[in-house]
Amino acid sequence: MTLKTIFLVLLSFSILAFEAKLERIRGNVTVNGVQAVKGMKLAEGNTIEAKGKKSLFIVRYSNGAKYMLRNGKLILKEFNINESKINLISGKLITSIKNKTYKKDKFIVKTRTASLGVRGTKFWILESPKDTYLCVCEGVVSASNKNYQTTVKKNEDLHIGLTSKLSTQGANSKMLDMALEDFREMGEPVE
């Protein structure tokens, strides 16, 4: 066996070993319309929904990426060792990505109005019919809509409309406190 063959075999095992699981469930949570159970393995294309104000789920990837969705719906478009893409349809998404988990902007959250590229951070998104609200608690998020792009840093927030100009500001204390509480509940307190 050549070194190249050995490398390709090892690479394929590491990609095959990459997985996502439901780490925690509270309330009415479904995967593709079927009642979810703790420990359930997820696949690309899965639609996960937490129905009701008290409902939530936490997903953990084998590389340590972790997120929680409250009272909402998302689709796992793609996830592997190199890149992950989530379509957030509705709800509140709380995300913790350790530095160097993914290369620059390779963990992507898409909403109706925005695309958010993550660079090792903790951030909080509220997707509503009006807009996408982003609050960054650690690190940096690259945010864009159809016409503009900006960078959102720690303790900043942003309301993102489909075509509106993007302007960051200091996160208001009420929203920041709600985000910090969600991170504590997820077991990922902000330092």
100 pLDDT tier (thresholds 50, 70, 90): low
Residues composing the chain: 191
Coil, strand or helix at 175: helix
User: According to the model, what pLDDT value does residue 11 have?
Assistant: 44
Q: What is the pLDDT of residue 159?
A: 93
User: Alpha-carbon distance 77 to 83, whole Å?
Assistant: 10
Reported as a single tens digit per residue, the pLDDT across 128-180 is 988 999 999 998 899 999 999 999 999 999 999 988 899 999 998 999 899 99
Q: Which residue has the tokens 């509270």?
A: 26
**pTM (2 decimals)?**
0.85
Residue 69: pLDDT band (50, 70, 90) is very high
pLDDT of residue 10: 45
pLDDT confidence of residue 15: 45
Maximum Cα–Cα distance across the chain:
60
Mean pLDDT of the 34-56 span:
95
CA-CA distance, 92 to 58, in Å (whole number)?
12
Buried b (16+ CB within 10 A) or exposed e, 137-155: bbbbbbbebeeeebebeee
The domain ranges of the chain are 3-186
Distance CA 55, CA 72 (A): 9
Q: Is the pLDDT of residue 8 over 70?
A: no
Q: Round to whole Å and give the CA distance between 109 and 94.
A: 11
121 falls in which pLDDT band (50, 70, 90)? confident
Q: pLDDT category, 3, cuts 50, 70, 90?
A: low
Of the candidate CATH numbers 3.90.550.10, 3.30.460.80, 3.40.50.2300, 2.60.120.1440, the domain formed by 3-186 belongs to 2.60.120.1440
Helices vs strands, H then E, count in the chain: 2, 14
Per mean pLDDT, which range of 14-18, 151-155, 184-188 is the poorest?
A: 14-18
**pLDDT for residue 81 is more than 80:** no
pLDDT at 117: 86
In the chain, the amino acid numbered 10 is L
**CA R_g for the chain:** 17
